[in-house]
Copies of this chain bind each other. A is one copy, B any other.
Amino acid sequence: MSVITIERKVLEKNDQIAQRNRQFFMERGIIVLNLVSSPGAGKTSILERTFQELRGAMRMAVIEGDVQTDLDAQRVARYDVPVVQIVTLGGCHLEANLVRDALDKLNLSGVELLFIENVGNLVCPSSYDLGEAVKVVVLSTTEGDDKPLKYPAMFRNSSVLLLNKIDLLPYVNCDLTVLKNNALKINPGLRIFEMSCVTGAGFPEWCGWLRNKDVSGL
């Protein structure tokens, strides 16, 4: 078995715009969460249930990022939160200037929490700061317990890990302890919530954490 290793330039051109976005959010007291994951890990389902749980308690808005379609924006629009869809037409991640442009189209009056649902991709979005307060990586149990080791940048650059689909643990080849240890090996500071959109597990803790705005302490 041979191993070949290739260097990679990290693109940082959008950091300046991201910094201006961050300033914009801080001046308005808006906490911004950048949700990243593989396709199908459950970002939209988590948002839907979060909107249900926090309805009336907090004002929220969402920017949806997708390669194609506005299916996710249609889903979250049912919960009566302001939403803008960014369609990247093949682009594999969101960049700070797309978020900046989306802000013009979003009613942010009174909004306390802004969720940005990134393109489903466990690689590229890790390199692009959007101006968020916190990057939240969603990983489902069906993806296997080795993923933090295989995609370390995303877990290193995130502050929160939502371990989703824990209701499927009896049926999949995934050891939750191994998974959490692998994640903490990459990033010992990760705040981990174990969630299920089917049973509702983890939502009281996750939504309580959002409500307390503990996010600003990260």
Chain A residues within 8 Å of B, Cβ to Cβ: 1-8, 10, 38-40, 66-74, 77, 83-92, 98, 101-102, 105-106, 119-124, 127, 140, 142-144, 146-147, 149-153, 165, 167-168, 171-172
A2 to B142, CA, bound (A): 33
Q: List 12 A-B contacts (CB under 8 A).
A: A1-B83, A3-B73, A4-B101, A5-B87, A6-B98, A8-B89, A8-B90, A38-B38, A68-B151, A69-B146, A92-B121, A121-B124
Q: How many copies does the complex hold?
A: 2
Smallest CB separation, A63 vs chain B (Å):
10
Residue numbers in B under 8 Å from A90 (CB-CB): 8, 10, 123, 127, 153
Q: Which residue of B lies closest to A122 (CB)?
A: B39
Q: Which 4 pairs from chain A and chain B are nearest by CB? A: A40-B143, A92-B123, A142-B142, A2-B105
- How far is it, in angstroms, between the C-alpha of A90 and the C-alpha of B157 when the chains are bound? 13
